[in-house]
Amino acid sequence: MNTVVTSKEDILKASRELIQQQGWSAINIRSVAAACGVSVGSIYNYFDSKAALACAAVESVWCEIFSFPEDRAVFQDTQSCIVWMYGRMEYGGKQYPGFFTMHSLGFMQEDKSDGKRRMQKAWQHIQDGLCSVLKQDTRIRDDAFSEQFTAEKFADVLFSLMLSALLRHDYNPAAVLEIVRRTLYSREQ
């Protein structure tokens, strides 16, 4: 048996490892308890149901995949941010095979509203980050955004393209970078 679990983070770490090794379907109270070397009751001290555990595990995986880099310079311009995001998507696809498609399918079932809320919260955090980068990118033309075409709307477009790329397992940002270049930057860049 492993060392005794002393925190929620230990349980989530074991859950992430199970997802990496066995896939999304490996997450249940018994398998996580076994991986942690504790009783099923110990897991219930932190999570009142399998759904609660699964929701927290999903949020934990998203946070691990998109954890902030030490070099925050990637958030100074839109193109660097997109390259970083696609790199993290590729990392997530390799570390957690099938995660991007399988966990969202799992939330389609009933009793998963908390999971949907957590997933949307993680996604909103990513979109907000994209919008922030767009607003501080000094390379963007002054007239790139308008009342009808805002940074928020373009961040939503970029995020939609990212989700589409996740489902296709396409981690090459070249097409998105070209869209950004043509839409936001002056012709000389």
How many C-beta neighbours within 10 Å does residue 150 have?
Answer: 14
Beta-bridged to residue 140, according to DSSP, are 185
Range of the domain at 32: 8-48
118 and 173 fall within a common domain? yes
37 and 106 fall within a common domain? no
State the Cα–Cα distance between residues 172 and 182, nearest whole angstrom: 18
User: Residue 103's pLDDT is what?
Assistant: 58
Question: Taking a C-beta distance cutoff of 8 angstroms, is the pair 81, 74 a contact?
Answer: yes
Extract the runs of DSSP E, i.e. beta strands, from the chain.
none
36: domain CATH number?
Answer: 1.10.10.60
For the chain, how many structural domains are there in total? 2
71 and 142 fall within a common domain? yes
- Tell me if 2 is assigned to some domain: no
- Tell me if 54 is assigned to some domain: no
- Tell me if 189 is assigned to some domain: no
User: Residue 112's pLDDT is what?
Assistant: 58
29 and 96 fall within a common domain? no
State the Cα–Cα distance between residues 24 and 117, nearest whole angstrom: 18
User: Residue 2's pLDDT is what?
Assistant: 46
Helical pair 174-184 and 151-168, crossing angle rounded to 10 deg:
170
User: Residue 21's pLDDT is what?
Assistant: 92
User: Residue 22 CA to chain centroid, in angstroms?
Assistant: 19
39 and 117 fall within a common domain? no
- 88-104: per-residue pLDDT in tens? 999 999 998 888 776 55
- Tell me if 90 is assigned to some domain: yes
34 and 117 fall within a common domain? no
- Tell me if 56 is assigned to some domain: no
Average pLDDT over residues 111-139: 82
Q: pLDDT-based confidence at 108, cuts 50/70/90?
A: very low
